[in-house]
Structure 1
Amino acid sequence: MVCAQVETSPRRRWQKVLYERQPFPDNYVDQRFLEELRKNIHARQYQYWAVVFESGAVAQQLCSVCVFVVTWWYMDAGMLSPQRLFGAGLVSSLLGYILFNVIDAGVGRQESGRTWWADLKSTLVFIAFTYGFSPVLKTLTESISTDTIYAMSAFMLLGHLIFFDYGANAAIVSSTLSLNMAIFASVCLASRLPRSLHAFVMVTFAMQIFALWPMLQKKLKAQTPRCYVAVTMLFALAALVGLMTISSVGAVLFALLLLCISCLCPYCLIRLQLFKDNIHGPWDEAEIKEDLSRFLM
């Protein structure tokens, strides 16, 4: 709408009201119109190292997917036995469980009201059901070609990364969907392993790295940020070393991806904030700031 500006100063001063008849056009504005202009009043000021710290969640999840795929490749090639993987996963889960409760001195457990015995029963039930259905998991996708299985697994792991909860309050975030897609990918890949025991161990390992490991990382991030940074760097190094044993080119590309996400993307985000230009003024929609909840009762 084109705003009309009266050149001659009127005798009566214009008022921004609708309940009085004024000798001005409906689209008239005076010289004070642009005085209320405000720019970037809700813009956030980011610090580079703070953004790098927050990007660690994305890097860790990428490393989790990398470690999972490398582990599956070793089992498929016969270079890693399911007994060794299950034993290593059991020991690491036990250590992580103890660390999870030690970090906050058991405060989180007291707030949730969950006991050690309840956790043990849930673990035993999951292991029993997974082991019992492992022959079904092994033969579940026999009628599907291997290329299709690999494509489905890649698509599901990509969806897992997209919908994972990195701490952002967005509509696309869905922890349940992200975990289900990761487990579906693990079932697809486990069905191509030699025996049902391999499938059982692979699905169990997927639950550990996609469900339990992020919970421990969130607790470390909230309680001990320095330990969180150290664990993130060690985990990324382990993922790179594991990938290096399979493909040196893939390891280099993955390292570049991690550097891009952890260093380059935060820098670009901060630089782009300089070009942000949101304007606010009297043309904005009215916002009711009064608490109206009492009228809804």
Structure 2
Amino acid sequence: MGPDDGPGAAVAWRKVLWERQPYPDNYVDQRFLEELRRNEGLRQYRYWAVVREAGLVGQQLSCVAIFITLWLYMEQGLLSPGTLLLISLASSLLGYGLYQALASQAEPVLQPRTCWADLQSVTIFLSFIFGFSPVLKTLTESVSTDTVYAMSAVMLLAHLVSFPYTHTSPPGSLSLNAALFASVCLASRLPGALHTFTMLSCALMVFALWPCLLRRVKNGAPHHFAAVCVGVCAAGVGGLASRWPGGAVILALALATVILLCPWLLVQLQRHKDNIHGPWDEAEISEDLSHFLQ
């Protein structure tokens, strides 16, 4: 309805509610659309920047693939628990040293007392796992193997879905617990208690310690973050290819979709985004008046 169609066209219409006006309730004039705003605050994404962020999702998929690869080698007797323990210990020491080296200037330098506290925590966790390994080994004896594999798959999927990709340090409790539950299920199908202890130790390193180190790399050495993600993805695909070629193909397709295709779709769909804002939006308290209401 235009300004000349109102019953009281000689009276200027005002957008107020506290006085009666000779206009219908749904009346607006030509100034109504002057306040129309499109795509206010729209964030423009750059393809390679989105690919870099999507690399975090891809490397987490690869971490799960690496863990499954280690389990396959252990389950098939191609990797002894002693060898894997030595590799895990060396990797943990190297990662801890790198974690300390990448400490930002805003964070205090760790004192020997703090390093000693970290050593105590690791000792307690490993002692606890080693002591309960015989119990964990027989935990799922009464459960069928197919059920154990199904539970492990569901828990690993829950780990990937609930993983806090925006804040990877420390890992989310739900994500970490789901990964550890899947690790216990898979480790219980290994030949001995030492195999179970080794597998659970690797699970802690992959699902609990690695995300903290990756976060430090992303903040302290952002130029190397992409190379680290590529290396982890290559290790995941290569590891699966050595024992499960079909799984490696599926993982490669999933990585290509998540890292390359999905960011491209996001950037392309940004062109078609059309959000409108205007006087019909809900009223918001301005920052100038908010302090009066506190």
- CA distance in structure 2 between the aligned counterparts of 1:97 and 1:283, rounded to whole angstroms: 55
1:269 to 266, 270, 279: 266
- CA distance in structure 1 between the aligned counterparts of 2:223 and 2:25, rounded to whole angstroms: 61
Aligned pair in 2 of structure 1 residues 215, 260: CA closer, same or farther (>3 Å)? same
**How far is the alpha carbon of 1:236 from its aligned partner?**
1.3
Find out whether 1:129 has 2:122 as its counterpart: no
Segment drifting more, 61-70 vs 100-109 = 100-109
1:287 to 276, 284, 287: 284
Name the counterpart of 2:158. Answer: 159
Q: Are the aligned partners of 2:3 and 2:30 in contact in 1 as well (CA < 8 Å)?
A: no
Q: Which runs of 4+ in 1 moved over 6 A?
A: 111-114
Aligned pair in 2 of structure 1 residues 150, 20: CA closer, same or farther (>3 Å)? same
**How far is the alpha carbon of 1:55 from its aligned partner?**
0.4
Q: Are the aligned partners of 1:14 and 1:22 in contact in 2 as well (CA < 8 Å)?
A: yes
Size of the aligned set, in residue pairs, is 289
Amino acid in the other structure paired with 1:181: A
- CA distance in structure 1 between the aligned counterparts of 2:101 and 2:221, rounded to whole angstroms: 12
TM-score of the superposition, structure 2-length normalised? 0.93
Structure 2 gap segments, 5+ residues each:
none
- Aligned pairs (5 A) from 1:1-297: 4-5=1-2, 7-8=4-5, 10-104=9-103, 107-110=106-109, 115-167=114-166, 175-290=172-287, 292=290, 295=293
Deviations 1:78-111 (A, max 9, x none): 0011111111001100110010010126753549
Identical aligned residues as a percent: 53
Structure 1 gap segments, 5+ residues each:
none
Amino acid in the other structure paired with 1:88: I
- CA distance in structure 2 between the aligned counterparts of 1:106 and 1:251, rounded to whole angstroms: 40
Segment drifting more, 151-160 vs 244-253 = 244-253
Deviations 1:175-207 (A, max 9, x none): 110000000000000000000111111111000
Deviations 1:274-296 (A, max 9, x none): 11111110000001133646755
Amino acid in the other structure paired with 1:56: G
Q: Are the aligned partners of 1:74 and 1:80 in contact in 2 as well (CA < 8 Å)?
A: yes
Amino acid in the other structure paired with 1:205: C
Deviations 1:30-67 (A, max 9, x none): 01111111111032100001000000110110000000
